[in-house]
Structures are given as C-alpha cells and as structure tokens.
Amino acid sequence: MRGEGQLNELAANYYVHYDDGSKICIPVRRRHHIGAFSWRWGENCFQAVEHHKPYALLASHEQTHPNWGESQTRVSGGQFSPWINWLYAWENPFPDKEILSFTFHPVSGVVIVSGISVGNVTEIPIRWRKRQKILLSLNEPLDRNLNVDGNQSQIQLDLGQIISISPRLSYPTSDWPISPLHSLPDISKSQYIIEYTSHPDACFHLKDGSVFNIQDAEKHVFPDITPVQPAYKRVRLRIVDSHSHQIVAVRLHIHGLAGEYLPPVDRHRIINPAWFEDYSIDFSHRGIHPNTYVDGDIQIDLPIGKIYLEITKGFEVQPIRQIIEINEETNELVIEVNKVLNWREKGWVTADTHVHFLSPISALLEGAAEGVNVINLLASQWGELMTNVGDFDGHTTWGSQQAGGSGEYLVRVGTENRQHVLGHISLLGYQGRIIAPMTSGGPDESALGDPIDILLTEWAQKCHSQGGLVVLPHFPNPRAEHAASIINGDIDALEMTSWGDFYSGIDPYSISDWYRYLNCGYFVPAVGGTDKMSASTAVGTIRTYSRIPTDRHFTYESWMDAIKGGNTFVTYGPLLEFFVNGKPCGSRLYLPENGGTVDINWSVSSVTIPVTRVELIINGEIKEAKSCPSEGCSGSWSVSLERSSWLALLVRGKYVNQTEMISAHSSPIMIEIDGSSFFSGVDAVTILDQIEGSLAYLDVIGTRASEINYKRMRLLLTSTYRSLHNRLHKNGFFHEHSFMPNEI
C-alpha cells in the first residue's frame, strides 16, 4: 500500500474456508486492520499493532553508544523500522471447525500478506494489561545492557515487554518512622524488581531455559518469584501546614513493601540523575533514593497495603517518616507538617546562590519545597552549548509580588561566567543586558578557539555597575585570578558548595583558603550554593542564611544588601546565631590599643543533621569548643584579644553511620585593635602566588584576543599584585617571586 492509506477504506476481503464447506468473510480496512508498510507519523491503526513490539531504552548515560534525546523517553514504540507489518488478531468464531484454507480478494490497492499464525489464548493476544511488578531472585549479577530490540539477556517476556529491571532497595520496615533522615537503603545483589506489561498468558523466559507463566508468577507459585502489589488505587494526597492548614510545597518520597518507588502520576517513575540529561523536578539522593517536588496537592497511584512516606521541607520543618495503610476506601490522605524552628520569623531568609538548567518556574517549586527563599538560576555557556539564556531578561524576579507571586519564594536569573584556568564567577541579580561573553579562553568552559578577552575582575566590575551581586562559586577552585578580584574589593561573597553530597559537609579546603583572606583583613562573607546541574543534587543541600534588617521587607534587593552586609551563615542543616558584644556576623568592632575582652553569645538548633560540637574560631584557629546534644545547644564565652582578630562560629554534625563533618559556619565578626593590622605574611604569599600564576597563564599559553586586550588585563593584575605585595614588604615580610619578577 503506497501513501498514507485512506481511513476505513476497504482494502481487501479475506475468506476463511472450513471443512464443512462453510466460509466467512473478514473485511480488511485501512488503519483498522492493516496499515502502510512505510509508516507516516500519526497514521496508526486502531485494531492492529506493528510487528515490532514496543521496548525499553536505556538512558543516554547508561549506554555505550548514547543517543541523547530519544533515549530519555526510555521507550520506543517500534514504528521506525524500514518496513512495518501490521498484526491483526482475528478471533475465530468457530474454533471447533477445521480451517482448510484462506483466500484473499483485493479490493483497493496492493495488500501484502507476510504470514499467518495460530494460537489459543484467553484474550486478544495483541492487547496487553496495565503495568505489573514482580520480585525475582537471580543467581548472578544483572546485565544492564539491552540488545537492539530492547531485550535483556537474562530474562525476557514473550506476549509482552519488560519495562525496567532494578535492584531491590531494602528500607527499614517497622523502624521506618524512627530511622535516620537521609539514611540510604541497602541495594540487593540478588533480588530485582521486574516491571512489565503483558498479555495474561505471557511467560517469562530465563537465561537457563526456565519458563514461568505470568499467572502462576503473580500467584506466588514459584519460590524465586514474588508478586509486588500493583499500584492501582488513585489517591489524592494533600500536605498542609499544621498551623495555617494551608497547602505547602514539599519534597516527597513514597515506596511500597518491596522498596518500589511510588511517584505522583505526573512525575518520573525512573529518575535520571545524569548531567544535562534531565531537567525534571525530581531529586535522586546518590542515585539510589528517589524523591520528587510537589506543590502539596497531588494525585498518586498507590498499592493496597502499607506504604512508606517521607516528607522534608528545608531546615526549619520537622521531617516526617510515616507508615500508612492504604485500603479500597482510601481516596484522600492529608499529611500535616510542623515548623519547629523559627529563624524565618526572626528575619532570616535562605538562598541557594548556584543552580543550573531548571526553568524559573521549576526552580520556584523546588525552592518552596526545600524552604529556600531565593534561588539564583544561572545562565551559562558550556563549549558551544548555551543554557538558560532565554530565561534571562535582566529585570524579572519570579515569585515576587511585582511578578504576581507571594513574595516569599523568589527566583532570579543571573549568569555564571567562566574561564577554565583563571576561574569562575557568579553574577547575580544585575539589571539590563546579559554580561557577555559568558565564557572565555577555550575548552573546557568556552568554545574551541575562543580567546581570553576579559578577566573575572572585569566581569565583577560590570556586574556591580549594573546593580548586581558578585559571588565566587565553589570557592576556591578554579584557584587563580579570584585572588586579584578579592584584593580589589570586587567580590561580595565566597560560596561553599555541596557538590550534591549530604555527608561530606563544608569542605575544609574551602574554609582554609577563605581564612587566608580574612587573616589579611579582606572581609568577604560566606554563602552556600549547590551548583545543582542534575537530579542528583537537591537545591539548598547547602544554603545561605542571611538576616534582613527589621526595618526592611524581604525582596531580592534587600537580600542582596543583606549578603553584602555579611550577617550570614552557611549550613547543611544546623541553624545558628552568633554575637560578639551583642553585634551580629558582618559587624566590625573597635578596641583600644591594649585590646580587651569580648563577650560571645551563640545558639545552635537542628531538626535535620544531629549536632555534635560547636567551636569558636579566632583567626583561623579553634579557641573554644563545646559538645552539644543532637538537637543543638547555646552558650557564651569571654575571650581576651591583644591584636586585631576575626571571630566566627563553626558547627560540626554527624548522621548515623557517617563521619563527622563541618555542618555550618558563620561569617566573621571583625575586631580591629588600634595599632594592630590584619595581616599574615604566609597567607599573603600564597595569595600572591595565585596572581603570579594568572599572569604566567596570560603571558605564556593563553589565547590572545588582541594585544590591547592582553595589555589591559595584564596591567589590572599587575596593579592588584603590587597592592598586596607592598603591604607584604611594609609589614616586614620578603619572598621570592615565582614568575618574571622584573615585570611585576
């Protein structure tokens, strides 16, 4: 049949001849019983299916030869063969009669008959049932690879198709409500959840030749196969605040008795955690524990029996783990969440300074669900790839009252501008046109052949001129030119980054490099940003708390000012307050020449990570410490200071079965003593080394845009170098120059 085929046109009559001399006619109509061998998209049949049954696809990151895009659907309908035969299942009305022959009588056009088969099944053989799951025990590790037909080597299905095979996740059962937050399930090496769709008479075929009838498998006849209760009960789930009884957005996880993930009907059942392969509103904790973000009112298909629910909403709401019994009468579930810490009511707002790839509206939902008031969504360039550029307009703050939102959760699109050697810089909240180019100097960040035509320091200055906030992301790496930007006073904050990891805490390497600048008197507050680039990272895993002054309303602009003011702390969960002589973080105090004693007061609370210890940091060293119960504690110290010093609070914490980590850190309070300057010769030399390295890169291997550009950038770095270099010598320190000292 050429062309598309005319809907319902009679193509042929088939005649079935029986042994008693009778015959019946089977009319064959186009797009009902037969279709075009060369398929045009959308011209499907109503009563026939393609000869190649649908099959599962591995996602791009799971394939040896990836096919990004289509593979993210994880399914192929089978229509794209060069030649399609259409399978029509005719039910014989006289099964007791012997069929002698078939005859074919064309009516319109050419009809090709490729074959006839016969079988005895209980239902139409080309109609499959809804999804089901079984738990299968295998004696060997699972081979994840699929062949070109989407079949797996160890287990296949005849009248149906396997959708997915995944190791069983073993969660606590009776202990689920009291099990630790962020504890991961055990991954079975012998039991696998097989999800499939099939005819009721289908059979599983194992590699060793074993055959299991579906109906017997679903009745638990075979010892190695356990049926999993299907999730067919449609339930409305509402999550409400216990005080206001209003619907609230949360992060949600639900699984069944076999550890199977149970998502809402409009969420991924299999979460893709790979880089730039998915932009879903999901979170897969270490690629094992699946979660999704919901607005608080969803539809979900659940199994009859026990389900295991987990809800979190940031660092001030008590996490929930519950076991709930679902029965045939369950049509709605209402779960109350309880806010137990009131840092927001004290004027503190939360922020993630570093998020990629989400749409602004998706970011708004994830921020609300994670209790993050400000999401900074960063457009950027990755080689030849531009991301989120179309979301940047230089003025819109999604979620603000001006944009029609409540004003409680905000999303603003900025840019992360990057050079793979000199460093990265985040330009937040600026007005006007996008600051471009967003990358410079060639791969890995920029396109091949791109020259170095702008410095981080110059990007920062452009951002400030357009009313923005400048943050050094994932501090200190790439560790080079940002030293000059800090010395120049062009950096508003340094970012501590989680890299998607709940358990490692704030990187001591990041902190130690931050301390170098504080020791030399360069005050730069700390912020927290995740650098989220996939579903393997939750927004706000590490976050910034900053305090808005009582005389100002919370807006994106007041948030930027609060960051610049330095009354901030960075946290994985514990919340803190820190005062020296009654003054908060970011303050600058003055003492007379002989110094004096200062009074320190602090408090720490946590409903997520258990607190273990609180430490007072003075000039980068631990001066006081106190052990704390898991939910937090408070205290005070008095310390004597003889020279100019900075003070900060460091909090340690520890999840069950994990190592202790730095779970929170305040920005410092600077105390200046008359006649004593902030300076550390060793730290100054280390900072100068970075600027020398940046100059060496510009001079030797950096691709040059033009001689004028090169000289402009070199002059800026050289002048910055000299400002710190002169301080070094003024304070009596001398050092060897590592690169071209005569030119510096």
Q: Can you tell me the distance from the alpha carbon of 601 to that of 581, in angstroms, rounded to the nearest whole number?
A: 8
Q: At 457, is the secondary structure helix, strand, or coil?
A: helix
Residues making up the chain, counted from first to last:
744
Model confidence over 43-59: pLDDT tens digits? 788 888 888 778 787 77
| Beta carbons of 415 and 440 less than 8 angstroms apart | no
Written as six digits, the tokens of 183 are: 């504890």
CA angle centred on 37, ends 33 and 42, rounded to 5°: 75
Please enumerate in sequence order all residues whose Cβ is within 8 A of that of 736, keeping only pairs 6 or more positions apart, or say none. Answer: none
Residue 339: phi and psi, rounded to 5, are -80, 120
Confidence of residue 68 (pLDDT cuts 50, 70, 90): confident
**Residue 741 has what pLDDT?**
43
* Nearest one of 569, 567, 570 to 548, comparing CA atoms: 567
Beta-bridge partner residues of 136: 192, 225
DSSP class of residue 521? T
Least confident of 74-83, 471-480, 673-682: 74-83
Q: Would you say residue 544 has pLDDT above 60?
A: yes
Written as six digits, the tokens of 209 are: 């030749």
Written as six digits, the tokens of 403 are: 């944009």
**Residue 739 has what pLDDT?**
59
Q: What is 341-572's CATH topology?
A: TIM Barrel (3.20.20)
Name the residue ranges covered by the structural domains of the chain: 10-106, 132-228, 233-337, 341-572, 573-677, 681-730
Q: Would you say residue 97 has pLDDT above 70?
A: yes
647: left (phi over 0), alpha (psi -120 to 50) or beta: beta
CB atoms within 10 A of CB 266: 11
Average pLDDT over residues 693-720: 94
Q: How far is CA 160 from CA 129, 154, 213, 220, 439, in A?
A: 9, 16, 12, 19, 50
Domain 233-337 has CATH 2.60.40.2190: yes
160: left (phi over 0), alpha (psi -120 to 50) or beta: left
Q: How far is CA 27 from CA 58, 105, 108, in A?
A: 40, 10, 12
233-337 and 341-572: identical CATH topology: no
Nearest-10 Cα torsion for 678, 683, 688, 690: -130
Model confidence over 360-402: pLDDT tens digits? 999 999 999 999 999 999 999 999 999 999 999 999 999 999 9
Classify 573-677 by CATH class: mainly beta
| Beta carbons of 241 and 249 less than 8 angstroms apart | no
**Residue 66 has what pLDDT?**
66
Q: How far is CA 85 from CA 14, 51, 408, 456, 654, in A?
A: 17, 5, 57, 61, 61
**Residue 109 has what pLDDT?**
87
| Beta carbons of 239 and 294 less than 8 angstroms apart | yes
CB atoms within 10 A of CB 55: 19
> What average pLDDT is seen over the chain?
93
- Radius of gyration of the chain, Cα coordinates, nearest whole angstrom: 32
Q: Can you tell me the distance from the alpha carbon of 1 to that of 30, in angstroms, rounded to the nearest whole number?
A: 9
Residue with tokens 């301080």, as numbered in its chain: 727
Q: Can you tell me the distance from the alpha carbon of 11 to that of 733, in angstroms, rounded to the nearest whole number?
A: 96
Model confidence over 634-684: pLDDT tens digits? 999 999 999 999 999 999 999 988 999 999 999 999 999 999 999 999 999
Measured between its terminal Cα atoms, the distance across the chain in Å is 80
